Chains A and B, each alone.
Chain A
Amino acid sequence: MRTEELVDLLSTGVHSVPPHAAHRRFATSIALGTSGSLLLMYLVFRPRPDLAIAVLTALFWMKLAFPLSIASGAMLTVNRLSRPGAKSNFSTIRILVGGPVLLVWLWGISVVAIAEPQDRSDLIYGASWRSCPLNILLLSLPTFIAVFLAVRSLAPTRLRVAGAFSGLLATSLATVVYCLHCPEMSPAFWSMWYVLGMALGAVVGALVGPTLLRW
């Protein structure tokens, strides 16, 4: 087909894109994905029995703020990476993603350092270190699908990076949900196993990104 004909064809019957179409699509899929994760958590793991008491403690909210901050950083980045030519503002990402990780690491180290030697392994490993990263990955299935569908409907041009941050977004949202079940309250535990779970999600995202996000 001649290019002129194609241009004619493309320019007939075009309606304007509603404002913030991309944002809306993104918000919808994140809401849907997170609801899916919540449902999955409720069915598979159940919320922690003492949730009503835990929400009254500052520690619980700090724990929740940790993956939430990473999720917001990942969301901003994915949003940028899904648009061709948009500059990635890596200083914001560093603060929102790297900052909390660093803080939790420092916090975890200091908690372990001042603890009695016999309590240390308990602070790091808790009771669920074996299953924690895998549980997070399991809960991230709905968010993973939702985020990847949303990013795919946009136009990412750096597929591997976009995939990594999509995976990070999916698993950090799943971690927020997992916080409602997970009874571990040691920053050292979060700094190891939550971070590992989210990092695994980013790795998986980077691996499948070039295949799943192609357009």
Chain B
Amino acid sequence: MRDDIEDLVQEVLIAVHNARHTYRPDEPLTAWVHAIARYKLTDFLRARARKDAVTESIDDHDEIFASSDNEPGDARRDIGKLLDHLPDKQRMSILHVKLQGLSVAEAAHLTGLSESAVKVSVHRGLKALAARVRGIT
């Protein structure tokens, strides 16, 4: 939109420049410039209406794009592979807290670790994973 406005302003400036021999000193300058601007605006809108009539922006139609079915599966497999590199303590903590969505207390109960140990394991595990992903890419 801002680009359109700037384009139009420039278009009008060029038109005013090229049509300056049609200005008569005894008539109001504003009326003359206004008429040119109006003409160029109509021209611009007409051209755009014509373009809009035969084209349709693809951004308005997200629904035609299929979402890939194997993307979640791929992601799960990648995460599983990455988690395998971690020590058991960190892997189980991340699995419970981050993937299964359990609370820290529940995870502590299931793994037999203390709550703070679970928190630390999650933290260290994620850090290790991040370092690993950065190393891969």
Contacts and interface: CB of A to CB of B under 8 A. Distances in A.
A154 B22 contact: yes
A157 B18 CA distance: 14
Interface string B1-26: 00000100110011101111111100
A1 B32 contact: no
B32 A83 contact: yes
A17 B35 CA distance: 20
Contacts of A114: none
B35 A6 contact: no
B22 A1 contact: no
A118 interface: no
Interface residues of B, number: 25
A85 interface: yes
Contact of B24 (A7, A83, A215): A83
Contacts of B6: 3
Interface in B25-75: 27-28, 31-36, 38-39, 43
Contacts, number: 58
A10 B13 contact: yes
A82 B22 contact: yes
A85 B34 contact: yes
A1 B27 contact: no
Nearest to B28: A85
Contacts of B21: 17, 21-22, 154
A101 B21 CA distance: 34
Contacts of A98: none
A3 B36 contact: no
Interface of B: 6, 9-10, 13-15, 17-24, 27-28, 31-36, 38-39, 43
8 contacts: A3-B13, A6-B10, A7-B13, A17-B21, A82-B22, A84-B35, A86-B27, A215-B18
